[in-house]
Amino acid sequence: MGRKILLVTADQQRHDALGCNGGQIARTPIVDSLAATGINYKRAHNQNVVCMPARATIISGQHVRSHGVTMNGVPLPEDTPDIARLLKEQAGYKTALIGKAHFEPASAPGGPYFENYAASRDITGPHRGFDHMELCGHTGRAGRSLFHYPKWLEETHPGAANSFQEYVTPEKEISGKPGGDTGAVQVWSQNSIPREVYHTDWVADRVIAWLDSLDANADWFVWMSFPDPHHPWDPPQSELGRVNWRDLDLPVAYPGDRDKTVAILKTKPRHWLDWYLGERQYAYEVPKSFVPAELTADQIREVNAMCHVENELIDEALGRVLQHVDSKGWGNDLDVIYTADHGEFQGDFGMLFKGPYHVDALMRLPLIWRPAPLADIAPAVVEQPVGHVDLARTIADATGITPDPRMEGAPLPTSPDNDRERVITEWDGGYDGESITLRSICRDGFVCTVCEPGTAHEGNEGELYDLTADPRQFANLWDDPTRKSLKSDLVADLYDNLPPARTPALKQVALV
């Protein structure tokens, strides 16, 4: 038998959400234990800060410009490298993805995409190398697409989905529900759904059920993909007592008030202040009417409380799955990889949600790999930069299969003493007539971002942060004459290590 692989992803979860990464509120003992007995990557970055490009990188092991999913709404081509397919074809692995997939647009019901029609046709695969897929999104409501979870919920608990908040988008501005206690956007504190049928526990239950369908000697790969703590922030009402938003401090990277925020954002490229003041929108992924400058301190606190609650529920659900794996005698063979697709502002810089902003709030991820105990790899903390692009080759290396030669990145280092130098993140996108292109490199304790020409920038703007001296990334050193040589070196290294862009470019066929 080979090593079993459990890949766990949370959606829109920050690096500092976990206790092992400095989190002080949400209790995450399960993931913290994995970090203590495995490898905790302290400077892990995604290769894009929104869902579809990040997930495409995880499964393909390619940079964004290679697989071509440069923004949400661009479907991942079927002919890209696929770690699930390789495991199945080369080593006979049983494969499943349960939860949020988002390799294909969610806003194309009736379209040609498996993720849109699978549940309505009672299909659970095979698809994209997975024998079995059961899908859910960020709400129990059917929404734009009828995933397996809302279909199951309506069949087993009729009407329960009405307790969820709506998922608000620029094309769907009316949520129909007030925003919790503070009127915060996308917050809802009256979700009466029982905790045991909330989508976090449903994902864990379905993983357990699928594992129970396997032969005891099977090798398997499961991607357990939780939709939380992505908005809408509406965990079960029964769980809200875990964290009282009134007791929370404001985030360290919250400047303090509107005037202080404006002063900081004026030192950054113009798209920061444009969006903060509601003057322009550069990404689809936020409600169009949302103006960050109108956020109150209490609204930020309530959003954070909801995220902390949802993070605790994820940790507990993961614990149930790991306990079940142990009960089946697979624990010694199990590799667990835990990460998120991207982060969330949660009040940093006075903002919420995500977009073309390459700072720790969105770009830096939790990434923990607990190798199978039989591998006899010592626990470690790795500070050097790594990325999602490394995950496919890491899984291939752990299971002994041959990686697709088109896969980029490298197996994750297992020791603090390694030669990792850089990680790259990109943004190619726009919304409502605006275009923005960012290329970022993290190396030697600095993050350097080039703003390429578009409607937002002329091509000479950028950002440069010293992560040691300025972990909040408040002080933009781009125009600092004493850093001119450093900036030049970082920019050159960035472009030297960018792979060629896919040609022709893939088209956006839907917005999400």
Q: List the strands of the sheet with 462-466, edge to edge.
A: 422-431, 434-443, 446-452, 462-466
Quick one: tokens of 173? 């501005």
SS (H, E, C) 82-93: CHHHHHHHHHCC
Quick one: tokens of 297? 């301190």
The pLDDT of residue 458 is: 94
Main-chain phi, psi angles of 435, to 5 degrees: -130, 145
The Cα–Cα gap between 55 and 61 comes to 10
The Cα–Cα gap between 400 and 391 comes to 14
Which helix or strand (DSSP H or E) is residue 365 part of?
strand 364-365
Cα distances from 170 to residues 281, 283, 288, 290, 511, in angstroms, run 10, 10, 4, 9, 10
Would you state the CATH architecture of domain 14-414+422-496?
3-Layer(aba) Sandwich (3.40)
The Cα–Cα gap between 306 and 244 comes to 9
CB 117 within 8 A of CB 123: yes
DSSP state of 169: B
Residue with tokens 């444009």: 274
SS (H, E, C) 49-70: CCHHHHHHHHHHCCCHHHHCCC
Quick one: tokens of 442? 């993290």
Tens-binned pLDDT, residue by residue, of the chain (512 aa): 789 999 999 999 999 999 999 999 999 999 999 999 999 999 999 999 999 999 999 999 999 999 999 999 999 999 999 999 999 999 999 999 999 999 998 766 567 899 989 999 999 999 999 999 999 999 988 876 689 999 999 999 999 998 998 876 655 554 446 689 999 999 999 999 999 999 999 999 999 999 999 999 999 999 999 999 999 999 999 999 999 999 999 999 999 999 999 999 999 999 999 999 999 988 887 888 899 999 999 999 999 999 999 999 999 999 999 999 999 999 999 999 999 999 999 999 999 999 999 999 999 999 999 999 999 999 999 999 999 999 999 999 999 999 999 999 999 999 999 999 999 999 998 888 899 999 999 999 999 999 999 999 999 999 999 999 999 999 999 999 999 999 999 999 999 999 999 999 999 887 67
CB 152 within 8 A of CB 162: no
- Count of residues in the chain: 512
3-state secondary structure of 453: coil
Quick one: tokens of 21? 């990464």
Distance of CA 280 to the CA centre of its chain: 24
Cα distances from 264 to residues 59, 250, 324, 473, in angstroms, run 37, 17, 49, 10
| Stated pTM of the model | 0.97
The pLDDT of residue 176 is: 46
Query: Which amino acid, 228?
Result: D
The pLDDT of residue 30 is: 98
How many C-beta atoms surround the C-beta of residue 400 within 10 A? 10
3-state secondary structure of 465: strand
Cα distances from 161 to residues 230, 311, 439, in angstroms, run 17, 21, 40
Beta bridge partners of 340: 10
CB 471 within 8 A of CB 360: yes
Distance of CA 378 to the CA centre of its chain: 27
The Cα–Cα gap between 54 and 388 comes to 7
